[in-house]
Structure 1
């Protein structure tokens, strides 16, 4: 079975890449660019493709590779097929079921992980997997996206902060510091349930939870120390700290606005979290994660700062357009965000192909 696992990883990563590209294209159509769609429903699938198809499959694959157990690959295989199913325009319900089963697979993996090693960070990441499962189930059940999008956000936020808590163990956090983290997570999770019942009140609780987590990360994450170092270590820390700033902005916006159904303010609130925070984390960890998933080596080089800076400046442009109601500014910000993501992917591929010439 060991020889077969790499053969599984490659097609799954192809599905991840297709979901990302289709999700970006769908997002650009939604933000106002009049471009052709692969299939008529594609623009409405921007969120599910980016969160479940791209990130859900990628996170599931990363966990499966780390555990090295054949059954753990069932989840990413199913969600990867579900993403491709949606991209090509086959019946949406089948794609929803495949993504739901993929999230069941990741949840099962984390149940095993928590049983083997019960800790605040494994429980937090396990809650993240459950959020993905609940979000997918609500989507399949016909719940509107604006009501379930924070459950999908919870999947990504709790997975990321759980991983950061795990890495922060080297700082020997005090019991009170860990309790503060648990309280912030509890506040955020309470908001997830609240948003299904009370709308704006639940959204504001979510915002308070995001603010609490952002402040906690800013104060206690090891990135505040490692940013003083050099090379890849500093690059990771810079991306993390920028991401934490956007998480704070997203939380403040959620508290200020409450529940928003659609429009520029909705765009502002969500993309501060999904682009500023989540993609900040992706940029930070990609040089480490990709070699663990694929048989490649990626050497760090300062050229990676280019797309990082571009991503955050483009997002700033986008939120200015959102806040001011300037549609062309908003549309260009969205396009430049996509350019930054593709630029980063291209540089990662180039660094993997030329490790010696551009090693730092």
Structure 2
């Protein structure tokens, strides 16, 4: 019997919807897995005793793969989701699925498959950014594409067995340039001298050169990379809109405080990275001033804007958002100062870093609940139909 066109059309439309409903919790689970394992691994590396099972191999894997889990498994997946939502292509979700699966494989003691899954994720992610550039040729979209290429380069080095001296500069370049591109987009309507954009291109070019050079000449490459980070911090502090919005109120001021505090830590990271290259004991300061002080500050600042777009959750902003931010900065200061002095409080600072991230997650959840209570019902965005 011939099937009518309408049921066929409905069948074609319902399949993607079921796929979307299955993919979302899977992505959320993979993000949570990499984040929790990455934090646990970082605490173990910092000497914090955790109540973990001794008969399991995953804690040692989490400690060994801490950087890959946090940068590729967690942040890479989150950025991949954000970009897939923005580009509105179902195939774009293959990138965060691959990076999330790669993080899970790393945690399960499968480093080679996990690393190559990361290469697949970065390759798809780069292709997604090519689509974005074709749709909108602008300075910030080109920079997003270069950032994706940096992630691909770092993942290829990681998959081929290169050490952290070679891989970490590329991984951090991916995150730093992604943030720089987002800030460039946010401030594109501001009046700037032509030399400002040229200077930014020069700084980011030095960052890429430092990353590439680090594998061949660690001292020279590290010095150049550190100088580029410090110069980028100065550029952002001078030209970002945050220096104006910090005098505003509410969410705008909170975001500006997050950004300006992050730029200060970016400058610290640049100096520490250069110091590490010449043999000073500043590696922990370089990595965590950059990873926690700068990148997590940016995450805290942008989350109230990004989450409603990608997770369809509205948040009620309040002064309580400043609590995890303050804990993050104070605990990082404790960690790094104590670490340079060889003080046991270094591990306490690391533990409080994790507490700050947990407080932020609780703050986001509380803000979502508060919005629903205030408006007397479900999030208005949730009433919109799930896109097929």
Alignment of 1:138-157 (within 5 A): 138-157=157-176
The aligned residue for residue 380 of structure 2 is none
* Alignment RMSD (CA, Å): 1.7
Residues 273 and 282 of structure 2 are in contact (CA less than 8 Å); yes or no, is this contact kept in structure 1? no
Question: Cα offset for 1:90?
Answer: 4.1
Deviations 1:125-153 (A, max 9, x none): 11111111111111111101232111110
Residues 121 and 165 of structure 1 are in contact (CA less than 8 Å); yes or no, is this contact kept in structure 2? yes
* Runs of at least 4 residues off by over 4 Å: 356-359
Deviations 1:188-212 (A, max 9, x none): 1111111111101101101111111
Q: TM-score, normalised to structure 1's length? A: 0.94
Please state if 1:319 is matched with 2:336. Answer: yes
Moved more, 57-66 or 249-258: 249-258
Moved more, 3-12 or 113-122: 3-12
The aligned residue for residue 93 of structure 2 is 73
Question: Cα offset for 1:93?
Answer: 1.0
Please state if 1:28 is matched with 2:28. Answer: no
Q: The residue matched to 2:282 in structure 1 has which SS?
A: helix
Question: Cα offset for 1:110?
Answer: 1.0
Alpha-carbon distance between aligned partners in 2 of 1:120 and 1:225, rounded to the nearest angstrom: 22
Alpha-carbon distance between aligned partners in 2 of 1:138 and 1:229, rounded to the nearest angstrom: 44
In the alignment of these two chains, the number of paired residues is 355
Please state if 1:43 is matched with 2:63. Answer: yes
Question: Cα offset for 1:252?
Answer: 1.2
Question: Cα offset for 1:123?
Answer: 1.6
Alignment of 1:231-246 (within 5 A): 231-246=250-265
Question: Cα offset for 1:174?
Answer: 2.4
The aligned residue for residue 349 of structure 1 is 365
Moved more, 153-162 or 248-257: 248-257
Pick from 123, 126, 135 the counterpart of residue 145 of structure 2. 126
Residues 13 and 58 of structure 1 are in contact (CA less than 8 Å); yes or no, is this contact kept in structure 2? no
Alpha-carbon distance between aligned partners in 2 of 1:129 and 1:84, rounded to the nearest angstrom: 21
The aligned residue for residue 174 of structure 1 is 193
- In the alignment, structure 1 segments of 5+ residues that lack a partner are none
Alpha-carbon distance between aligned partners in 2 of 1:13 and 1:192, rounded to the nearest angstrom: 31
The aligned residue for residue 54 of structure 1 is 74
Pick from 16, 19, 24 the counterpart of residue 9 of structure 1. 24
Q: Give the greater-gyration-radius structure (CA).
A: 2
Question: Cα offset for 1:187?
Answer: 1.1
Alpha-carbon distance between aligned partners in 1 of 2:23 and 2:167, rounded to the nearest angstrom: 31
Moved more, 197-206 or 140-149: 140-149
The aligned residue for residue 302 of structure 2 is 285
- In the alignment, structure 2 segments of 5+ residues that lack a partner are 1-12, 376-388
Q: The residue matched to 1:41 in structure 2 has which SS?
A: helix
Q: TM-score, normalised to structure 2's length? A: 0.88
Please state if 1:209 is matched with 2:224. Answer: no
